[in-house]
Amino acid sequence: MTEQEMIKEVVRLKKEKKGVIFAHNYQIPEIQDIADFVGDSLELIQQAVNTDAELILFSGVDYLAESAKILAPNKKVLLPVLDAGCPMVNMVDAEQLRVFRREYPHIPILCYINSSAAAKAESDLCCTASNVVELVREIEADKILFVPDQNIGRYLAKQVPEKEIINWEGFCMTHHMVKPLEVDVNRRKHPEALVLVHPECSAAVAEKADFVGSTTEIIRYANQSEKKEFIIGTEMGVLHRLRKENPNKKFYLLSPSLTCFNMKKTALGDIYHALLKEQHEIKIDEAIRQKAQLCLEKMFIKR
């Protein structure tokens, strides 16, 4: 089957099965181009709740598809590649959170969306890169445990100094690799460019940036800016939308290490097979799902 034939089949199968394809901003260009919606973590899970479709094919990694299933339990959610996971998810587990809760029952637990359903079930509130600062400001407590990303935790401590953030030790293997020196070198090479980075980068990198935000916030910032050049400090998949939506602007990747191998595991053929065989369906223990749903839904409450 040629690529064009496969795309046609994907479109046909999607219609036949009343399905939609959601893709994270880090997915490969061919998948972003056939997806019904491409976005950051928060946008994708909101879409999962709002869609009328009965089947959601989630092109991304496990915790995203799992979060969609937690919030939309009556829809069939498929993850095309079973082992497309996020190593950060395994850096905190539910039992560690239960132990913390027993010791410090009055300290709220805020967990990043890059976490398992079981960890979300043990947490008070969930967040993504685009709403974490706002949510921390709103939590009615002086001390908060934030898990598992240490870099976002440090960024939070700077952004919301009036709260004490108890930090965990997890990290994103892709963003954590970026060195502050790479910001200096790129600024020297591209003196007109603005530096836009993801908060999963180290605090030392974030401090040197002109803007820190989620993947979609970075895209939106570049789209709205009058500047013509940008140094991008997040996974290279975002370059596709940035260049497509801004053909007259220039984008440089901050570091060659900014490729997430898990986000790149899904190919067009996997999307086709997943739709054809309706694989691999996300299943979550119902008691865990219900608790995780409460934790996730709280982030949507308008305060």
Q: From start to end of 175-255, where are the E strands? A: 194-197, 211-212, 229-233, 250-253
Question: What is d(CA 36, CA 41) in angstroms, rounded to the nearest whole number?
Answer: 15
Q: Which of 32, 40, 120, 231 binds ligand 13P (CB under 6 A)?
A: 40
Question: What is d(CA 41, CA 89) in angstroms, rounded to the nearest whole number?
Answer: 14
Residue 22 CA, chain-centre distance (Å), reads 13
- Does residue number 159 form part of the binding site for ligand 13P (CB under 6 A)? no
How many residues belong to the site for ligand 13P (CB under 6 A)?
A: 14
Q: Which of 128, 150, 262, 293 binds ligand 13P (CB under 6 A)?
A: 128
Q: How do 19-24 and 55-59 pair as beta strands?
A: parallel
x/- letters, 19..38, toward ligand 13P (CB under 6 A): ------x-------------
Give backbone dihedrals phi and psi of 174, rounded to 5 degrees, phi first: -85, -55
In whole angstroms, the minimum distance from the beta carbon of 104 to ligand 13P comes to 27
- Does residue number 266 form part of the binding site for ligand 13P (CB under 6 A)? no
Locus of tokens 């976005």: 39
Q: Token pair for residue 148?
A: 């598992």
In whole angstroms, the minimum distance from the beta carbon of 62 to ligand 13P comes to 11
Query: Can you state the percent helix, strand and coil of the chain, rounding each to 5?
Result: 45, 15, 40
In whole angstroms, the minimum distance from the beta carbon of 278 to ligand 13P comes to 26
- Does residue number 151 form part of the binding site for ligand 13P (CB under 6 A)? no
Question: What is d(CA 34, CA 185) in angstroms, rounded to the nearest whole number?
Answer: 36
Q: Scanning residues 210 to 239, which ones bind ligand 13P (CB under 6 A)?
A: 214-215
- Does residue number 150 form part of the binding site for ligand 13P (CB under 6 A)? no
- The window from 40-48, 95-103, 116-124, 266-274 that contacts ligand 13P (CB under 6 A) reads 40-48
- Does residue number 116 form part of the binding site for ligand 13P (CB under 6 A)? no
Which residues form the interface with ligand 13P (CB under 6 A)? Answer: 25, 40-42, 86, 114, 128-130, 172, 198, 200, 214-215
